[in-house]
Structures are given as C-alpha cells and as structure tokens.
Chains A and B, each alone.
Chain A
Amino acid sequence: MSDDAVLEVTDLHVSFPGEKGRPLAAVRGLSYQVRRGETLAIVGESGSGKSVSSMAAIGLLPTNAKVTGSVRFRGRELLGLNDKEMSRIRGAGIAMVFQDPLSALTPVYRVGEAIAAAIRVHREVTSDAAMRRAVELLELVGIPDPARRALAFPHEFSGGMRQRVMIAMAIANDPDVIIADEPTTALDVTVQAQILEVLATAKQATGAAIVLITHDLGVVAGFADRAAVMYAGRPVETAAVEELFAAPKMPYTAGLLSSLPRLDAGRGVRLRSIPGAPPSLAELGAGCPFAPRCAFAVDLCRTTEPELLEIGQGRAAACHRTGEGLDLMAGPSGDSGLADQDSDTAPEAASDAEGAPTEPEAPAKPEAAAVAEPIVGAEPVLTVRDLIKHHPLTKGSIIRRRIGTVRAVDGVSLDIAAGTTLALVGESGSGKTTTVMEILRLRTPQGGSISVLGQDLEALNQGRGVRRRAQPVRAGIAAVFQDPLASLDPRLPVGDLLAEPLRTHGHGKTAGRVRELLEMVGLEASHANRFPREFSGGQRQRVAIARALALEPRLVVLDEPVSALDVSVRAGILNLLADLQRELGLAYLFVSHDLAVVRHVADRVAVLNLGRIVEYGDADSVFEDPRHPYTRALLSAVPVPDPVVERQRERIVLPGDPPSPVVLDGDAEALRGCRFRSRCPLYAALEKPEARELCESTDPALTPVGDADRSAACHHLDAWVPALVQSGTVA
C-alpha cells in the first residue's frame, strides 16, 4: 500500500523552544499516507498540531523548529533537504492552499501576475505563455471573465474569489499533493460550498492527493475519504470517513461528533458537551492528554499515554479502552463528576432532551407550542418596524466624495416575545450585525422604529433626562459578542469586570452578586480574582455571559457567541445559554452565520439578504420546509456531519458572491425588482417571461406563507421548479 502513496509521513515530531529551555512539542508522532486522487482530512481543534504538521512537511516552519521523523514524497525523503532542493518540490510536487486569502496574496501584484510567477518559478516559459496559462487556470476555478479579472488586484476580489485564485495558484504546476489548510474557514456557507466544488474540480484536473486540514466535521463528511483526528499533537483516531462517523472508537472523536449541533436534528436537543478545553502544549503531562476531559478515563489513563493501535482494516485508535466495546456515543452513566459544567441543571435538562424531537420526521409540535405559549399575551421585549440604516459610500483616500449608498439595513421588522429566541441569519453583508448595532445603540433609528422592553426609542430619546430614563432600558438589554477577549478589559480581574456594570447602575454590595453570577455560568467563585487571559476561550465566553447577566436583563443579544470557540467547547456554551434562558426567562436575539447552531437554538428565525428579511417565521417550519429560494440554497449549502446523508444530498450552489448592499448613485436599476434576482436559481429557472418580468419589475414584499405564522418575500413561492435542486451550478 505504501508503494503508491505520494506522500508518506512517518512518526513526525515537531517541537519549538519554549520558556525556560523546555521544548514545546507541537506534533508528537504523526503518521499518514495519501495516494493520488485520495483525500485525507486531518481534523483537530486549535493547538492540535494539524497545521504545524503540514508546514513541517513542506519545510516552511521557522528555523527554530525541531522536526524529526520522516516525510517521503514519491519515495524521496524531504526532511533534511536544503532550501534549494525543497523549493523545487514546493509548488510543483506539493502545493498549498491557505486560509484567509486576503492576507495570503501579495497586495501589490495582479492575480494573473501572481499565478504566472508561480508557474515561472518552476518552468522556463515566456511571461506571455505563463499569463495565458494563468487565465486558463482562472477559468478552470470559475472566475468569470478571466482574461480581464487576471489584471485585477487581490483587494478587488471577494474572499471567495481570492480563495479560487489561491487554488488556481496551487494547481498551476500540476502538483501530486495539495495541502489545503482550513481552505473554507471564514467564508460564507454558500461560498464554502462553491470552494469545495472548486477543490473537487482541481483534484479532478490534476489527479492530486488532497490533505485537507480542518476543524469542521461537516466539511470532512462531505469531502474526505479518510480522516485522522488529532488531539494535543497526536493522532488519536484514523479511519475511513464513513466508519469514523458511524462508529467512533475513541472518546474524543465520539464527544466531538455528539457535541455538534446538526441541521438535521431538531430544536432544543441537548448537546453532549465535553467539559474543559483542549490542553495547551506547555501543560501536557504523562497519561492520555484527553483524560482530564474524558468520561471514560480510568486510572491507567492518567499514568500512561495510549499508543495509536491498529484496530481493523485501515483503522486505528489511541485509547486504552477501545477494545472494551463501550458505547461511546451514549456517554457514561452516573459519572456526574465529569459531566459537563452545567450539570447542576441535569435532571431538568434530561427530561427536556427526551421530549425534544430528535429527527425532523417527528417534529414535536406540542413541545413547540409549549415554548411558544408565553408569547401569547406576553409583552414583546423587542419590536422593530421597518428599520432602515443607510450610510453614504465615499471614495478617495484624501478627498472623499460620495459615490453611492450602503443600504446596510433596508426595512427590517422583527418581534421577540419574552423568553424566546429569535435568530438572525444571513451571509456577510446581509445586515445582521448592523441591525443588532442599531438596536444596541438605543438611539432613535434613521428610519422605522425600535421599541425595547415596551419603550419606543424615538420617544425615549426625546425631551429631558434621557440618560436617567434610558437607564432601566439599558439595564434590560445586554450583549455577548463573538470574541470574548476583545470585549473584556484584560487589566481587570474577573470579579471587577462583573462588578463594574453593577456599580455604574448604583448597586452597593457587589461581592455576593459576583459570586452568584460566576456560579450561574458554571465557574467557581474563586475565579473572581483571576484575569481574563488566565481562562480558556470557553471560560472567557462564560465570563462575558455572566457580565451580560449582571443587571438581570430581559433581552440578551448574542452576536456569534460560539463562532470563535473550539468545536468541543461550543456545546457547553450552547447548553449554558439554553439553561439560563429557561431559568431566567431570557429572550435572545441570536445572530449567527452558522445555521446548524441556529437550528439548535432558535424558536423563530429571520433570514436576511441585502438588508431585508426574505423569510421569517417559526424555526421548525422554516428549517424543515424552507420556501424562499435563498433560504433553500443557504440550508442546502450547510454540510451535515454525516457522510451518508451528506453524499446523498442535492446541493443548490448559488452562483457568485454574497452581493454587496451598495447602491451607486444614479443606479436606479439596482433598486428595481427583486434584489435577490442576480443569484436566484428560481428566477434563472423560470420559463414564463411574465413570471420573470414580475421578478424584474416588482420588489416582492413579505407575504404570509401557509399557516405556521410565517412569511417570505418572493413572487413565486409556489412555483417550485425541479431545476432548482440540481447541483453543479458553479459560476
């Protein structure tokens, strides 16, 4: 088997000089092989060593890194080659696609030049020939009008387009191996779907092996043949993707899989969470690195690190208890000491989970009704009507002139009833963040009206004593943002951070409340003396949540609260939020681009596109039967962490990028008709000219759909065209 492996990594170790001369081991014994045409996924969270190992393979680690083991490319040992010899292999034999294409392309070169330069590093061709090849490659990766776009600079491309350029560059010299390091992270879901298709095309065109480095199990399920799961610098499980997802043999893998919110699961299902956080390299001891978080750990685990052992054809796992036939997915019974940090609410939560729907076929209507009950008669905590936020778009760095308008929010209406969750979903530029910011500002909106806790903001901001009158409203609404470190002052200990809002709102005794808050979010009272940086990402987010709750708000705005967190700690935060909502009767405005998370938390959902709501209503109903073409496409683009389901799904790949909400001055055409038209697959499939004409001339308004308190903005909700579900419509 190893004969036809193009890349063979054996017992790779990488360490960096650490503090006090103790080396930090980033990779501790990684082995894998990939054959031509095969895709191997290396899955892991931050600090698992997955990226370091690939940089080590192509010799691009800083010089202070110590690399041992063996990396063989088509039988040739790469470790120990000098820069000149390695440079011949890089790009030609092994190519890379990096994350974040904004910073990965040199800003001063045209993209065509950049690709041509990559060709000419390895081949003696004229610059004209290289440029022609570059244009061909751009066409291959789906850049429209490639001859013209080849002359554009990276900053003139969207994120998705830049990632296509990166892929074109990677395949420029027909590599045998393409290492893709988080190639779709930070991209919108519809763009992620496009890029994965382009990668598949690239693989077909070159016949290369792909090493896909990712933290996203959904992507792995749909794209990879085999996977190696890494934890704390070591591979802990390797298997064919189907087997891995069907029956994980190592508790960490099993925990990851069962902690993922899934689009095809129902609302409110309690996620299994893995306690704690991934270890930092500096604190690794003897024993299994997962032992502190493992529900199955026995004494042996704490003293001896398990080897990665073959347990079947092409399968290996590193766990002492693999052979015991434990049901890893079910979780241990009665081991409350290691259950997740919100275990204090366990009895209640358990009953809740039982009653919750587990599959879409059996939507628990009674349960949904039970959740919806307080809405009736309860005063809404947030009402937004026709909210508008436009700002001028200017050009020129020194002399600014107005050239258009950014219609960031263009007529949004929302309601949130007490104790319920409304999710705002949409891609970048859809206006979800602007909407939230307009609400949190508590000022009179530019257009439309906002009323928070029954207080109309326009009325609130008029007359005298605005500050005093706004005080209770301010206390009643709180926010938690994506990056907890950025929103917490690093110089204050957590106790002060929590006491601060209490003091500004005139509460005298704070110590007791601080303790209460910490316990409420699953931290210990003794944590009050620590500083934010001493906490892991998940714990910091808990601190941020505690701070938000300090003044007993009734509405909490959650802006991508788990997006920056490691996969294994997300479930804990989501469970915590669910518990707090139930105990405190909180209403949530939940903003996220991650539809699986939204599926898990939302009672109602609003889908935003270009500053407008295109579909709005009960979450179960919207997710199970999306009606607007945009919602359909969005949902079909989300990968499901299940290879069997994932490979059968038909995918609607939207062409192009998420459009920008900019309307240039004098461009009346842009405001005519349905704004989703340029990307709308339904519009493209409509046959009757009258039907198309309607999309072109009239802006569709939100109209009620069915009976489930839903609405959608499209003229042709009933005209369901089969062409819509075809896949492979990459631009």
Chain B
Amino acid sequence: MGAFLLRRIVNYLVLITLATCLGYLLAASSLSPREYFAQRQPPPPVASVNATLNQLNLNDKTPLEDRFAHWAKGVVTGDLGKTIDDTSVSAEMGRRMGVTLRLVLFGTISGALVGVALGFISAIRQYRPSDHTITFLSFLVLSTPVFLLAVLLKIGTVKINQAAGTTLLPYTGETTAGLAGGWFRHLVDRGQHLVVPTLSLMLGQAALFSRYQRSAMLDVLGADYIRTARATGMRRGPALVKHGLRTALIPMATLFAYQMGMLLTGVTFTEKIFGWHGMGEWFVDSIGRQDVNAVAAMVLFTAVLILIAGLLSDIAHALLDPRVRD
C-alpha cells in the first residue's frame, strides 16, 4: 500500500506540473495585461506601462519562453509571482484558500452524507411514495443552475430572518463586521454565516449522491450475501445497512473525491453571490483584470485540489474494499 501510494504521488506531481505549466502558457498567451494598463484614465505613457509590465514579468514584448522561465523559477522557490496590482500572489492565495476550502469541504461532506442517506432510503423503498418524492426533488435540484439556487436560497433566508425577527441566518460575507465578544461568539458567528452558502453547494451534491447511491444500493439489494446475512438470523434493517449499504458505499468513495474537485466551479457562483472572498471570486476577477499570474495560481490550486481528492479517493476505496488492496 505504501509503495503504491508513493508511486501515485509521483504520478500526481508530474500531472500537477504539466497542468500548471499549460495553464500559465495559456493564460500568458491569451490574456493581455498591457490592455489593462492602457485602458486606465488618463492613459499612462507607454514607457511606464512597459516598465510596470517588465517588473511584473507580464510584458508581452518579452518572448513567452523567457517569461515562462522567469515564472517557473519563481514557482520552484515557492514564489507565485505578483498580481497585476503588484501584490504577492502567494499571500493573496493564502488568504483566500481557507475561505474556499471551508465552503467546498462542508458542502461536499454534508452533501454526500445527506445524499447517501436519501439514496439508501430511496432504494429500500423503491417505487413507494418516499422514493418518488426523493427522485423528483433530486431531479429538480439537479436541473437548477447553482446561481439560481443560490439566489432562491437568499430569498428564502430573507423570509426566514423576517419571520424570526432577527438575523438568524446572515447571508453576506464570512463574518459580521466589527463583531465584539469572545472567540466563541466569533465561532458561532462564522458558523451562522456558513449555513446558507454551504446549503447552496450541498443541495446539488446531495441530489447527485442520492441518485448514485440509490442505484448502487439497488444493485446490492438482491445480492446473495444479504440473503446469507438474513439466513444467519440478522434482521432486515441491520442486514441492509451492515451488508448492503456497506458494500454499496464503495463506488461512492470515488464519486466523493471527484465531486469535491468539481465543486470548485460551483463555488465561484456561491462566493460571488454571498460575498465571500475566496478563490472562485478571485479567479473570475483575475480574468477580468488580465492577471496572468493569478490565473496560473488558480490553475495550480485546482490541480492540487483535484489530485489530492483523487489520492483520497484511492485511499478511501482501498479502505472500503479489501479486494483492491494489494
């Protein structure tokens, strides 16, 4: 297992490097930082624009290879370059990473748990009203774009807050600005802020997982080993969970990890709509600002995240299924 993981990690490092380099090259050749400066009012002199561009390693007059070499040298030493506004990309990323990870992590985990539970219920009550309801709702959610879902949630939250007469569930930003009180008060505040945005990510996840879990569970419902478990005297409920669900969870491990990666796209909308300053928001803004280094950093972040997810999925798969262990 150890050797296997090591080989996996080496493989992944190669992939991350490739993805990031390609990401940089694409960004550097298609974005045009010069325009960003040229459009300023009043237009700055060309010489000063060139100077700034050179200093930021963004000058399109410098050959792409040279810019790439300069950037790559920095990356190797842990310096991701400067943003177009001459701040450190690494520092900005450090600030924003946690925000996004918090959303994605809570979104996928809660979504997976709820989805697995719904899928399980759906499967063992196949074609009964509860199954039909879950199926209908999950398709409804799946066919609603994330941004629409987020906006609807926002409206719903307003209603709830009005009904409660207080801001029970804040829905903008990560914290209440200028909040006084101890660390516990802050923690609760952050928790409250997390609810609605997480929900916007979680619903889609739960809907998706419930579909997969339902069919995985239906596959094992007729399995001989459940019959065996029942024949030893185990009752239906425990047999379905310990033998059925336990086995049907195996394919979910893979799904879980990759969904975590996929959610990075969904999180862009969520961050924008709920005013969270995370990586998704930054990515969209950076493209608008023709910010090559920031976009490349974002590619790196996504690649690392997806590949970590892949690694986790391998580990989870091996933990759940003895048949794939070496």
A122 on the interface (CB 8 Å rule)? yes
For A96, give its contact among B4, B226, B231 (CB under 8 Å): B231
A562 on the interface (CB 8 Å rule)? no
A155 CB to closest chain B CB (Å) equals 5
B86 on the interface (CB 8 Å rule)? no
* Set of chain A residues within 8 Å of B223, measured between Cβ atoms: 103
The answer to whether B4 touches A104, judged by C-beta atoms less than 8 angstroms apart, is: no
A173 CB to closest chain B CB (Å) equals 8
Interface segment among A105-113, A291-299, A310-318, A465-473: the answer is: A105-113
User: What CA separation (Å) do A541 and B274 show in the bound complex?
Assistant: 68
The answer to whether B232 touches A105, judged by C-beta atoms less than 8 angstroms apart, is: no
User: What CA separation (Å) do A58 and B230 show in the bound complex?
Assistant: 10
Interface segment among B12-20, B203-211, B233-241: the answer is: B233-241
Considering the complex, which residues of chain A in the window 371-415 have a beta carbon less than 8 Å from any beta carbon of chain B?
395-397, 399
The answer to whether A90 touches B232, judged by C-beta atoms less than 8 angstroms apart, is: yes
A307 on the interface (CB 8 Å rule)? no
* Set of chain B residues within 8 Å of A91, measured between Cβ atoms: 231-234
User: What CA separation (Å) do A399 and B326 show in the bound complex?
Assistant: 11
B114 on the interface (CB 8 Å rule)? no
A107 in contact with B247 given A98-B227, A166-B228, A397-B324 (CB within 8 Å): yes
Considering the complex, which residues of chain A in the window 84-123 have a beta carbon less than 8 Å from any beta carbon of chain B?
84, 87-92, 95-96, 98, 100, 103-108, 110, 117-118, 121-122
The answer to whether B235 touches A87, judged by C-beta atoms less than 8 angstroms apart, is: yes
B240 CB to closest chain A CB (Å) equals 12
The answer to whether B233 touches A107, judged by C-beta atoms less than 8 angstroms apart, is: no
A119 CB to closest chain B CB (Å) equals 9
Q: Mark B193-234, 1 if CB is under 8 A from A, else 0.
A: 000000000000000000000000000000111111111111
A300 on the interface (CB 8 Å rule)? no
User: What CA separation (Å) do A313 and B235 show in the bound complex?
Assistant: 41
* Set of chain B residues within 8 Å of A157, measured between Cβ atoms: none
B9 CB to closest chain A CB (Å) equals 13
How many B residues, CB 8 Å from partner?
A: 27
Q: Mark A64-91, 1 if CB is under 8 A from B, else 0.
A: 0000000000000000000110011111
* Set of chain B residues within 8 Å of A16, measured between Cβ atoms: none
For A396, give its contact among B4, B246, B321 (CB under 8 Å): B4
User: What CA separation (Å) do A420 and B7 show in the bound complex?
Assistant: 56
Q: Which of A95, A121, A395 has the most CB of B within 10 A?
A: A121
Task: For B325, give the chain A residue with the smallest CB separation.
Answer: A153
Task: For A103, give the chain B residue with the smallest CB separation.
Answer: B224
The answer to whether B236 touches A60, judged by C-beta atoms less than 8 angstroms apart, is: no
A695 on the interface (CB 8 Å rule)? no
For B224, give its contact among A90, A104, A395 (CB under 8 Å): A104
* Set of chain B residues within 8 Å of A96, measured between Cβ atoms: 228, 231
The answer to whether B228 touches A108, judged by C-beta atoms less than 8 angstroms apart, is: no
B322 on the interface (CB 8 Å rule)? yes
The answer to whether B234 touches A87, judged by C-beta atoms less than 8 angstroms apart, is: yes
| Chain B at the A interface: SS class | helix
User: What CA separation (Å) do A381 and B242 show in the bound complex?
Assistant: 57
B281 CB to closest chain A CB (Å) equals 36
A73 CB to closest chain B CB (Å) equals 13
A109 CB to closest chain B CB (Å) equals 8
Task: For A91, give the chain B residue with the smallest CB separation.
Answer: B233
Task: For B243, give the chain A residue with the smallest CB separation.
Answer: A106
A153 in contact with B322 given A98-B224, A104-B225, A107-B247 (CB within 8 Å): yes
Considering the complex, which residues of chain A in the window 134-181 have a beta carbon less than 8 Å from any beta carbon of chain B?
153, 155, 166, 169, 172-173
Considering the complex, which residues of chain B in the window 133-152 have a beta carbon less than 8 Å from any beta carbon of chain A?
none
User: What CA separation (Å) do A140 and B322 show in the bound complex?
Assistant: 26
Considering the complex, which residues of chain A in the window 353-381 have a beta carbon less than 8 Å from any beta carbon of chain B?
none
The answer to whether B231 touches A107, judged by C-beta atoms less than 8 angstroms apart, is: no
The answer to whether A106 touches B225, judged by C-beta atoms less than 8 angstroms apart, is: yes
User: What CA separation (Å) do A84 and B237 show in the bound complex?
Assistant: 11
* Set of chain B residues within 8 Å of A173, measured between Cβ atoms: 233
Considering the complex, which residues of chain A in the window 290-338 have a beta carbon less than 8 Å from any beta carbon of chain B?
none
* Set of chain B residues within 8 Å of A88, measured between Cβ atoms: 233
The answer to whether A399 touches B7, judged by C-beta atoms less than 8 angstroms apart, is: yes
* Set of chain B residues within 8 Å of A98, measured between Cβ atoms: 224, 227-228, 231
* Set of chain A residues within 8 Å of B226, measured between Cβ atoms: 106
User: What CA separation (Å) do A117 and B225 show in the bound complex?
Assistant: 13
A60 in contact with B224 given A83-B235, A108-B247, A396-B4 (CB within 8 Å): no
* Set of chain A residues within 8 Å of B322, measured between Cβ atoms: 107-108, 110, 153, 155
A118 in contact with B232 given A108-B247, A396-B326, A397-B324 (CB within 8 Å): yes
For A60, give its contact among B7, B227, B247 (CB under 8 Å): B227
* Set of chain B residues within 8 Å of A92, measured between Cβ atoms: 233
B7 CB to closest chain A CB (Å) equals 6
The answer to whether B323 touches A107, judged by C-beta atoms less than 8 angstroms apart, is: yes
User: What CA separation (Å) do A58 and B229 show in the bound complex?
Assistant: 13
The answer to whether B233 touches A108, judged by C-beta atoms less than 8 angstroms apart, is: no
B320 on the interface (CB 8 Å rule)? yes
* Set of chain A residues within 8 Å of B243, measured between Cβ atoms: 106
User: What CA separation (Å) do A100 and B227 show in the bound complex?
Assistant: 12
* Set of chain B residues within 8 Å of A105, measured between Cβ atoms: 225, 228
A180 CB to closest chain B CB (Å) equals 12
User: What CA separation (Å) do A107 and B325 show in the bound complex?
Assistant: 13
* Set of chain A residues within 8 Å of B326, measured between Cβ atoms: 395-396
User: What CA separation (Å) do A249 and B239 show in the bound complex?
Assistant: 45
B228 CB to closest chain A CB (Å) equals 5
User: What CA separation (Å) do A96 and B321 show in the bound complex?
Assistant: 26
Task: For B223, give the chain A residue with the smallest CB separation.
Answer: A103
* Set of chain A residues within 8 Å of B242, measured between Cβ atoms: 117
The answer to whether B321 touches A58, judged by C-beta atoms less than 8 angstroms apart, is: no
Task: For B237, give the chain A residue with the smallest CB separation.
Answer: A83
B140 CB to closest chain A CB (Å) equals 30
User: What CA separation (Å) do A103 and B4 show in the bound complex?
Assistant: 28
For A107, give its contact among B4, B227, B236, B321 (CB under 8 Å): B321
* Set of chain A residues within 8 Å of B324, measured between Cβ atoms: 397
Q: Which of B234, B236, B250 has the most CB of A within 10 A?
A: B234
Q: Mark B85-118, 1 if CB is under 8 A from A, else 0.
A: 0000000000000000000000000000000000
For B231, give its contact among A84, A90, A110, A399 (CB under 8 Å): A90
The answer to whether B231 touches A58, judged by C-beta atoms less than 8 angstroms apart, is: yes
User: What CA separation (Å) do A326 and B247 show in the bound complex?
Assistant: 57
User: What CA separation (Å) do A380 and B320 show in the bound complex?
Assistant: 56
The answer to whether B224 touches A87, judged by C-beta atoms less than 8 angstroms apart, is: no
Q: Mark B301-326, 1 if CB is under 8 A from A, else 0.
A: 00000000000000000001111101
Task: For B244, give the chain A residue with the smallest CB separation.
Answer: A106
The answer to whether A106 touches B232, judged by C-beta atoms less than 8 angstroms apart, is: no
Q: Which of A58, A90, A106, A107 has the most CB of B within 10 A?
A: A106
The answer to whether A122 touches B225, judged by C-beta atoms less than 8 angstroms apart, is: no
User: What CA separation (Å) do A58 and B232 show in the bound complex?
Assistant: 11
B51 CB to closest chain A CB (Å) equals 51
A33 CB to closest chain B CB (Å) equals 21
* Set of chain B residues within 8 Å of A118, measured between Cβ atoms: 232-233
The answer to whether B230 touches A90, judged by C-beta atoms less than 8 angstroms apart, is: yes
A91 CB to closest chain B CB (Å) equals 3
| A–B complex contacts, Cβ < 8 Å, 30 sampled | A60-B227, A60-B231, A87-B233, A90-B232, A91-B234, A92-B233, A96-B228, A98-B227, A98-B231, A103-B224, A104-B225, A104-B228, A106-B225, A106-B228, A106-B229, A107-B225, A107-B321, A107-B323, A108-B247, A108-B250, A108-B322, A117-B234, A117-B242, A118-B232, A121-B232, A121-B234, A122-B233, A155-B323, A395-B326, A396-B4
Known: A95-B231, A397-B324. 19 other contacts (CB 8 A): A89-B233, A90-B231, A90-B232, A96-B231, A103-B224, A103-B225, A104-B225, A104-B227, A106-B226, A107-B225, A108-B247, A108-B321, A117-B232, A117-B234, A118-B232, A121-B234, A122-B233, A155-B323, A169-B228
> Which B residues are closer than 8 A to A by beta carbons?
4, 7, 223-236, 242-243, 246-247, 250, 320-324, 326
Ordered nearest first, which 4 A-B pairs have the shortest CB separation?
A91-B233, A91-B232, A118-B232, A96-B231
> Which A residues are closer than 8 A to B by beta carbons?
58, 60, 83-84, 87-92, 95-96, 98, 100, 103-108, 110, 117-118, 121-122, 153, 155, 166, 169, 172-173, 395-397, 399
